[in-house]
Structure 1
Amino acid sequence: MSQEITVSKEDYLKAIIEAESEGHTVIAALLAQWLEVSAPAVTKAVKRLREDGYIEAGREGALKLTTKGREAAHRTALRHHLVERMLSEMFGMEWHQIHTEAERLEHAISPAFEAKLIEKLGEAGDCPHGNKVLPETPAQIKRRGLVALSEATENTDYVVASLYERDSGLLEFLHELGIGPKVAVRVQRRNYDNTMQIKTPNGSVTLGQSAAIRVWVRPNPASRETDEPRRRKKT
């Protein structure tokens, strides 16, 4: 592989399915931005991926995965998912640190080790950020019964169920605020400046819309169980 191509084929293919899940039309310029590589490097990588039968170029340069390319992207996504779960469930690594580590390790997983991880962890479980193996669109996430924190109802109790994991800075920021997987939260109010006041176990914090749209929550069943005896007592 040319030294100018600084990201592996697997990274390019996985980037395409990630970008597709966020509603992007994937073109070379987007991949350069997504993977933080130069335009010439992307041009060479795309040329090789096309020659090897992993992608096709459509109208106006839109890139699409072939069946072969999608299968390869899915395998990389599965290895990433397994590594994240391994780091969390077997080694106790913090949830806000494991994505970046998994990005480094996912390419080093051999088929034999992958099989052992599947045997140990299974393929169906969520990663520590609450995400499935393959990137999901917002519509797919909503079909799981989740709602973006930015759209959550005020004065209703929720539990954090899924986090956007591609942005390591966001994960660190949320961790510092005390907002993480399985954490109970409540939207106390929406502020005039488009921020939100969120109640967490560590106290009240302010969260902007750009972060809130990347946090997915579900109604907290524990709060309903707590409220039920209160309602009975009143009656």
Structure 2
Amino acid sequence: MIRIEDLSKTFSLHNQGGAVLRVMEGATLNVEAGECVGLVGQSGSGKSTLMRMIHGNYLAASGSLVVAGLNLVTAQPRQIVALRRHTLGYVSQFLRVVPRVPTIEVVAEPLLQLATPAAQARDRAAHLLSRLNIPQRLWTLSPTTFSGGEQQRVNIARGFAHAYPVMLLDEPTASLDAANREVVLSLIEEAKARGAAILGIFHDEAARDRVCDRLVDVTRFTPGLAA
């Protein structure tokens, strides 16, 4: 589902005379259906950069990055938008939503974009919000007013609303209490069981040990850090 070969990334420093900074070289990894792979490496080694490249936020300098048959290095923007809508889910650490949109609509939105009947989409959203212990009295409010922990759980519910074949998870259990952490780990296990290919960053070592089938150290792809 994810095929990465000899991938590289550079940044141009326009405020420093156009100097080019090499941040990744030779990145190679695969993630199969039903597998969860964890990215590890010291801070600044490129874990988040690689995730953003896979999601299409950063453009690679060279190499091949294929997600569900689409090479993101050469893909058109409309193809990346379609991939995100149908195939590639991303649970980031931060919730970014339009103000004043009710929480249940925020969670249901990925399904509504796929023309899922509104009642069915909201039922799925309600199920996930309940499971993640978001009180029903909050569902009609905007999550922009919620605590950080509540926003994180809304973000997770939104990310798991649609059964994405490929998922990117950026520290999904960070700062969660034991009960909600268990819910999130169960959601990941269920996604693996239905065949999702999952790539994640997990600083929670116990969570990583539980859900990850193997780990990839991105330090070896980072110029100046690779041994």
Say whether the fold is shared (TM-score over 0.5): no
Larger relative helix fraction: 1
Larger relative strand fraction: 2
Give the structure with higher Rg (CA): 1
Q: TM-score, normalised by structure 1?
A: 0.25
Q: TM-score, normalised by structure 2?
A: 0.25
